[in-house]
A and B are shown apart, each in its own frame.
Chain A
Amino acid sequence: MLLRKQYDVPLARDPSSRFLVWITLLMSYLAALALAGALLVGEMAARWDSGLAGGLTVQIAPLPGRTDVPPLTARVEAALTVLRATPGVTRADPLGTDDAARLLEPWLGPDAAKDPSLPVPRLIDVVTDGTVDTPQLARRLESAAPGATLDDHAAWLADLRAFARSVVLAALGIVAVVSGAAVLAVVFAVRAGLAIHHNVVQLLHLMGATDRYVSRQFESHVLGLSLRGGLAGVALAAATLLGLQHAAEGLRASLLPDMNMAPWQWATLLVVPAAAALLAVGTARATVLRTLEALP
């Protein structure tokens, strides 16, 4: 009954019909992009999370000109001794000077980075089981190896998590605003329909149509329109995402989040037209029922 081809209220020819399809298309497009952004950032944060959790970096400064401290290599050894004696540390690997040179290469050039006279700090990559008391470890490292500083990845992680949270919140905000606009558009279109077809609605009412009988006509009308607009909007968003993916493949910047979406993530985007349709039907029903209250 909900998809009867001919309605008692001839809504199909209303000018607001096309308007509603376009509005739903645009709103679904924005909502789908926001949703995809949230999914991608969420996954990226999860990947960084597993890569960085439980990680520490110890940095030992060369301190050139200081004669009161042991040489750099001795201090690295001292730091390693402390680290390996610390309960909770599962691994502690010094990065070689080559590794440090490679990290500096983009800034200094290949030759300068390998210059032995360059005061390059030494790094120790530490993996823990998460139970290490980092402030205490930092103090012990500083006394055993002057110039040693401890860099806790947890601080980075907290920042990353906060960033991912704000992206998801922003996406939710966009979805909320877009939904609000879609609701307003449906209210407007339904009110216009009720006004244009006032006589028909009045007649059906006097003939004994229940309010739900009348509202169902509007509901199935906006259901069709919003599904059409919603699906078109998501299709357009998918095309946009594929285009971005293609563009990102051309770059070799590993800092960019991975734009490739998993099949389940693509499927999740179909929530958008479904939600648009539900929202439209609910709004249409509420609008019609409220307006009919005024009839005798």
Chain B
Amino acid sequence: MIRFENVGLRYGTGTEVLRDVSFTLAPGSYHFLTGASGAGKSSLLKLMYLAHRPSRGLITLLGRDVARLKRTELPALRRQIGVVFQDFQLLDHLSALDNVALPLRMAGVAEDDAMEHCVEILKWVGLGNHLQAKPSTLSGGQQQRVAIARAVINRPRLLLADEPTGNVDDGIGMRLLYLFEELYKLGTTVVIATHNEALIRRFDHPHLHLDQGRLHLLSGAAA
């Protein structure tokens, strides 16, 4: 379960980029996060993957009050959250395969199992021929798919994706959204930030809409 209560966020001493944000996401729910550029979508996701702490308000993440978490409890919580970053954040010196294997290595999964699993998922996102490629030799869309494979490899309880279809054509975009759909059916809570109205209209999921830092729930989202 994810709950935001009157959450505000400001960077440094600037104005609040998120204001009085309150919502609850049921476990195993699927939401699109929409809003104009600069509305605060990435900022909201950062709060959800613990890259920032809120300036005010309460955040409950996977049942834990974030403000009360001990430092030593954070890594285990973060490993249950898969993130597709807007700028991918792949490690340039590692192959696609090693990038995808990163979460498994952190979790201490045996190397053979990890590799088998990573090859499988890279084939699924259509990169079976680019296992050993370095990210810098891949196209934007290919890098994005590596980033997505890395985010889902560990079967996260919460999947957060920031513009995961921003660099691919609608065909591949659909395929990736179906991958998230699979995880959703397996019980993962999914939040996907996107501009792509055409793609999301094909899926029947509620929207969280951000407008100048304020959140509105659209089309039947559980409040």
Report which A residues bind B (CB closer than 8 A).
Answer: 6, 8, 10, 199-200, 203-204, 206-211, 213, 293, 296
B223 at interface, CB cutoff 8 A? no
B83 at interface, CB cutoff 8 A? yes
* Complex CA distance for A210 and B77, rounded to whole angstroms: 11
Contact with A along B111-143 (1 / 0, CB 8 A): 000000000000000000000000000000000
* Complex CA distance for A130 and B179, rounded to whole angstroms: 92
Query: What chain A residues lie within 8 Å of B78 (beta carbons)?
Result: 206-208
B94-A6 in contact (CB<8A) = yes
Listed A/B pairs (13) with beta-carbon separation below 8 Å: A6-B98, A199-B89, A200-B91, A203-B91, A206-B78, A207-B79, A207-B103, A207-B106, A208-B78, A208-B81, A209-B75, A293-B71, A296-B52
CB distance from B62 to the nearest CB of A (A): 12
Query: What chain B residues lie within 8 Å of A209 (beta carbons)?
Result: 75, 106
CB distance from A194 to the nearest CB of B (A): 16
Query: What chain B residues lie within 8 Å of A8 (beta carbons)?
Result: 91, 94, 102, 105
* Complex CA distance for A6 and B78, rounded to whole angstroms: 24
A213-B106 in contact (CB<8A) = yes
4 tightest A-B CB contacts, nearest first: A208-B79, A208-B78, A10-B93, A210-B75
* Complex CA distance for A200 and B92, rounded to whole angstroms: 10
B222 at interface, CB cutoff 8 A? no
Query: What chain B residues lie within 8 Å of A211 (beta carbons)?
Result: 75
B50 at interface, CB cutoff 8 A? yes
* Complex CA distance for A210 and B103, rounded to whole angstroms: 12
Partner of A206, one of B51, B71, B76, B98: B51
* Complex CA distance for A61 and B122, rounded to whole angstroms: 101
Query: What chain B residues lie within 8 Å of A203 (beta carbons)?
Result: 89, 91
Residue of B nearest to A292 (CB): B71
Partner of B83, one of A6, A207, A213, A293: A207
Report which B residues bind A (CB closer than 8 A).
Answer: 49-53, 71, 74-81, 83, 89, 91-94, 98, 102-103, 105-106
Query: What chain A residues lie within 8 Å of B106 (beta carbons)?
Result: 204, 207-210, 213
Residue of A nearest to B156 (CB): A208
Known A-B contacts A10-B93, A203-B89; the reply to A208 vs B75 at CB < 8 A is: yes
Residue of A nearest to B80 (CB): A208
B83-A296 in contact (CB<8A) = no
* Complex CA distance for A207 and B75, rounded to whole angstroms: 8
Beyond known contacts A208-B78, A208-B80, A296-B50: 11 more, CB 8 A cutoff: A6-B94, A10-B91, A199-B89, A203-B89, A204-B106, A206-B83, A207-B78, A209-B106, A210-B106, A296-B52, A296-B53
Which of B51, B71, B79, B106: most chain A CB closer than 10 A?
B106
CB distance from B177 to the nearest CB of A (A): 23
CB distance from B47 to the nearest CB of A (A): 10
Residue of B nearest to A13 (CB): B93
B94-A206 in contact (CB<8A) = no
A208-B91 in contact (CB<8A) = no
* Complex CA distance for A128 and B106, rounded to whole angstroms: 72
B98-A208 in contact (CB<8A) = no
* Complex CA distance for A207 and B80, rounded to whole angstroms: 9
Query: What chain A residues lie within 8 Å of B71 (beta carbons)?
Result: 293
Residue of B nearest to A199 (CB): B89
* Complex CA distance for A293 and B71, rounded to whole angstroms: 9
Query: What chain A residues lie within 8 Å of B93 (beta carbons)?
Result: 10
Residue of A nearest to B95 (CB): A6
Query: What chain B residues lie within 8 Å of A296 (beta carbons)?
Result: 50-53
Residue of A nearest to B77 (CB): A208
Residue of A nearest to B82 (CB): A207
Residue of A nearest to B98 (CB): A6
* Complex CA distance for A90 and B49, rounded to whole angstroms: 87
Query: What chain A residues lie within 8 Å of B50 (beta carbons)?
Result: 206, 296
* Complex CA distance for A8 and B98, rounded to whole angstroms: 9
Query: What chain B residues lie within 8 Å of A200 (beta carbons)?
Result: 91
CB distance from B197 to the nearest CB of A (A): 29
* Complex CA distance for A226 and B92, rounded to whole angstroms: 27
CB distance from B154 to the nearest CB of A (A): 9
A208-B51 in contact (CB<8A) = no
Query: What chain A residues lie within 8 Å of B77 (beta carbons)?
Result: 208
Query: What chain A residues lie within 8 Å of B49 (beta carbons)?
Result: 206
